[in-house]
Structure 1
Amino acid sequence: MTSSSDPECRERRKCRKCQELDLAEAVARRERDESRATDCRVLRKRHLAAEHGERS
């Protein structure tokens, strides 16, 4: 788990695409659209791997 003081975590919080995906997932969950929420999580994982060098 990454701590909030970790530079990588701070970078993700500033990343507009990460923020957009987090918001889209939150909206989908609020609307009880678990399929869309899952899609957001998958897209976030792909984005993190491509743009932030994270591996799952």
Structure 2
Amino acid sequence: MSAETLPPTGQEPCRGCQQLRLAEALANDQRDYSRATDCRVLLRRHRNTAECSERGPA
């Protein structure tokens, strides 16, 4: 996980972002790199929605 995918300091983490990051980590652990890529794509899409409290580039 890179620093740019983490929420800015003092900001409440977004639950949707956390779930997608966890899913990506689990997929990587299981060596399911296709699913890990899907999670990264979904995280980027989620970060562009109004429901994301960490809005911005992923």
Tell me the TM-score normalised to structure 2 length: 0.69
Q: Deviations over 1:1-54 (max 9, x none)?
A: 75x7835x834xx11100000000000000000000000000000000113542
2:38 aligned with 1:39: yes
Q: Which has the higher contact order (CA 8 A, sep 6+)?
A: 2
The CA deviation at 1:55 is 4.4
Structure 1 equivalent of residue 8 of structure 2: 6
Report sequence identity in percent.
Answer: 46
Structure 2 equivalent of residue 16 of structure 1: 15
Give structure 2 stretches of 5+ with no counterpart.
none
Change (3 A) 1:49 1:24: same
Bigger proportion of residues as helix: 1
Give structure 1 stretches of 5+ with no counterpart.
none
Larger Rg: 1
Calculate the aligned-residue CA RMSD, in Å.
2.6
